[in-house]
Amino acid sequence: MFWTGFASPGGKLRQALRSWGAVVVTASSLAAGAGIAPVAWARPPAPAAVAGEVALTALPPQAQTTYRLILNGGPFPYEKDGSVFGNRERLLPARARGYYREYTVKTPRARNRGARRIVCGGQRPTQPDTCYYSDDHYARFRTITP
C-alpha cells in the first residue's frame, strides 16, 4: 500500500523529513535521552462500573415491571428489548457475545426510550444468571438483587 512506507519507522516520510533538514524525534529516542526505560503499552483496565447492589423493591415501579416481563419472556413494549448488549465499554464482567441482553425501563414523560435500562446475562433470557440496572444509559450499573 502507498501509506505503508510512511508508517514504518524507517519509512519514506522520515527520509523526506531528514532530506529537508527536519529533525525526526520519536518517543523512544526521547525516553532514551532522558534515561527512561521503554514502556510496554497495554490497554488500560476497564473502569469499575458496577457500583454495588440494588434491591428489586428499591427500583422504580417501571423497572420492577420490566424485570417481571423479562422473567415472563415479554411481551416487551420496545422493539430493541431483548437484543444483544455488546458490553463494548467493558463495564460489565467479560462474557461471550450474546450473553447479555438489554431491556428498556420506561421513563415517565420521556418521548423516546429514555436512559434507564436493565441488562441481564445468562444462556436463557427468562432465567438470567444476573441482572444489572442503569439509570444513566450504561454509564454505571448496579446489580439487581431479587
Q: Tell me: the pLDDT tens digits for 23-46?
A: 545 555 545 555 655 555 555 545
Helix extents (H) in 34-101: 61-72
Taking the C-alpha atoms of residue 8 and residue 21, their distance in angstroms, rounded to an integer, is 19
pLDDT of residue 146: 87
Active site residue 102: yes
C-alpha cell at position 19: 532530506
Query: Are residue 63 and residue 124 in the same domain, yes or no?
Result: yes
Flag whether 45 is in a domain.
Answer: no
Going by pLDDT thresholds of 50, 70 and 90, the confidence category of residue 2 is very low
Mean pLDDT over the full length of the chain: 81
CATH number at residue 77: 3.10.450.30
**Active-site pick, 53, 79, 89, 102:** 102
pLDDT, greater one: 49 or 32: 49
Question: Could you give the CA distance from residue 146 to residue 141 in angstroms, rounded to a whole number?
Answer: 16
Q: Are residues 85 and 113 in the same domain?
A: yes
For the stretch 109-138, pLDDT in tens is 999 999 999 999 999 999 999 999 999 999
Count structural domains, the chain: 2
In this prediction, residue 47 carries a pLDDT of 52
- Residues of the domain holding 8: 4-33
Same domain, yes or no, for 69 and 133? Answer: yes
Annotated active-site residue in 53, 79, 89, 137: 137
Spatial distance between the Cα atoms of 74 and 116, rounded to a whole number of angstroms:
18
Same domain? 23 vs 92: no
pLDDT tens profile 67-89: 999 999 999 999 999 999 999 98
Q: Domain check: are 107 and 67 in the same one?
A: yes
Give the mean model confidence (pLDDT) for residues 40-57.
71
- In this structure, are 28 and 54 located in the same domain? no
pLDDT at 4 over 60: no
- Look up 89 and say whether it is catalytic: no
How many other CB atoms are found less than 10 A from the CB of residue 5?
13
Q: What is the pLDDT of residue 10?
A: 52
What cell numbers appear for 38 in the block?
521503554
Within this chain, do residues 80 and 126 fall inside the same structural domain, yes or no?
yes
Confidence of residue 144 (pLDDT cuts 50, 70, 90): very high
